[in-house]
Amino acid sequence: MSAPVLAALIAAGGVLGAAVITACATLAGLLWRRMIRAEVTNHGLWAYTRDLIDHIYRGRIGPPPSPPDHIKHLYQTGD
């Protein structure tokens, strides 16, 4: 193999390697943001569940508390 062909193969391998690393880093960032959103939703659900349990066990009169704003979309129906 001549030197220019070998250099071209090494360059092509570098470009492909950089593309794979960039794709992996992008995917990791997307998954990280999705995990953070899931943790926020989970925290909101736990807080809302605690509010509902307090409402029931303390014998409060009236309607149950509303869910927090960042999880209200989980309780909306398609009506």
Q: What is the pLDDT of residues 15-65, one digit of tens each?
A: 999 999 999 999 999 999 999 999 988 998 998 899 889 988 888 888 888
Q: What is the pLDDT of residue 60?
A: 80
Amino acid at 16: L
The pTM of the full predicted model, rounded to 2 decimals, is 0.64
Q: What is the pLDDT of residue 73?
A: 80
Q: What is the pLDDT of residue 78?
A: 61
Q: What is the pLDDT of residue 65?
A: 84
Is residue 11 over pLDDT 70? yes
Q: How many CB atoms lie within 10 A of CB 55?
A: 15
Domain boundaries, the chain: 3-74
